[in-house]
Amino acid sequence: MRDAYIATSVRTPGCRRGKGALKDTRPEDLLSFIMKAAVEKAGKIEPKEIDDVMIGCSFPEAEQGLNIGRLATQIAGFPVTVSGATVNRFCSSGLEAIALASLRVMAGWSEVTMGGGLESMTYVPMGGNLPRPHPEHSRVHANLYASMGITAENVANRYNVTREDQDEFAYHSQMKAAKAQKEGLFTEIVPTPAARYVLQDNGTYKKETFIQDFDDGVRATTTKEGLAKLRAVFAVNGSVTAGNSSQTTDGAAATIIASGEAVKKYGLKPIAKLKMYTTVGCEPDEMGVGPRYAIPKLLDLAGMKTSDIGLWEINEAFASQALYCIRELGLVDSMDKININGGAVALGHPLGCTGAKLCATLLANMQRKGVKYGVESMCIGGGMGAAALFELCD
């Protein structure tokens, strides 16, 4: 198979659901903007050269429904010949989209593709607007429909991840993110037009546009003492709180993938190659353990060891599951290589966008640090894990 080169990978800021800077910005506008921004940053590629667009979305309905992977190409002003599809693998939807777009290039079916992700958790709530679990099946497999927070409690209880452990992990996530913001390390963010509705003197609202250029959920003033005071959310006498869980967030991200021939033809300077991607199933009632199984499977496929990996992005859906996976993978002594700019506890988890968002973050950090190999991984609702291996281009 051919190599799949990442020409560029960018994201919007991630902003708090219902309260953040993107709460009044429709998901179609977020996605179409970042798609255009990816093309502009890639260099000499024109939109007409993109053969297909794959967009991850965990709840593709309402404002982000009707195959937003296709709709956004037209809103972005791409030629009508550029096709698009929407991909759903819940929390790894964005990474799945990048993998599928890359496979088209690797198979020789396309020369240039785009993969990305989107989730506006303000516009479409967790679970969607009209969830309908199967009545008979749910009696046998109720865990498939369990709250993600309950699964996080299960991980904490089964694998001895204490409240103190979780709060400590969450604190460091916030501190790393705050430090990265202060030092301007989120170079993968493209300043993004956002909408807001401002009350006028006559009682009507006027739509205004402003530019948002940072993740607005980071809490630089977080303390361990403050985290310890938060009550458990999902279980009586539980340990999972709002402070040690990922923030629900709005955001979008896009990645352009090109073949070696396209790299030469358009004079591109690729960032990295997507070398490997895999998924694995696990018990739905402890879905957070997914990376603990997906990462070893990925490394086995690639013929590599954890010691070969210079940087990791392991999504922090919950501190309990992220910490458990890190322990089981033998990476406790490598914390300085994991989520170095903070993770979803601080930066948010915009569901279908996260896989594409973490790709942009990982590649930016690999470039900055000159790291040869990086791995991205996450747990997935319903009981799965996903992991991808990237290799930095010379």
Q: Which residues are catalytic?
A: 91, 349, 379
State the chain's maximal CA–CA distance in angstroms.
67
Phi, psi of 51 (to 5 degrees): -80, -40
Q: Which of 389, 345, 8 is nearest to 187 (CA)?
A: 8
Alpha-carbon distance of 121 to 118, in angstroms, equals 10
Whether 266 contacts 8, CB under 8 Å: no
SS (H, E, C) the chain: CCCCEEEEEEECCCEECCCCCCCCCCHHHHHHHHHHHHHHHHCCCCHHHCCEEEEECCCCCHHHCCCHHHHHHHHCCCCCCCEEEEECCHHHHHHHHHHHHHHHHHCCCCCEEEEEEEEECCCCCCCCCCCCCCCCHHHHCHHHHCCHHHHHHHHHHHCCCCHHHHHHHHHHHHHHHHHHHHCCCCCCECCEEEEEEEECCCCCEEEEEEEECCCCCCCCCCCHHHHHCCCECCCCCCCCECCCECCEEEEEEEEEEECHHHHHHHCCCCCEEEEEEEEEECCHHHHHHHHHHHHHHHHHHHCCCHHHCCEEEECCCEHHHHHHHHHHCCCHHHHHHECCCCCHHHHCECHHHHHHHHHHHHHHHHHHHCCCEEEEEEEECCCEEEEEEEEECC
Phi, psi of 276 (to 5 degrees): -160, 145
Alpha-carbon distance of 138 to 61, in angstroms, equals 23
The residue written with tokens 């890359």 in the block is 102
Q: Residue 48: count other Cβ atoms within 10 Å of its Cβ.
A: 11
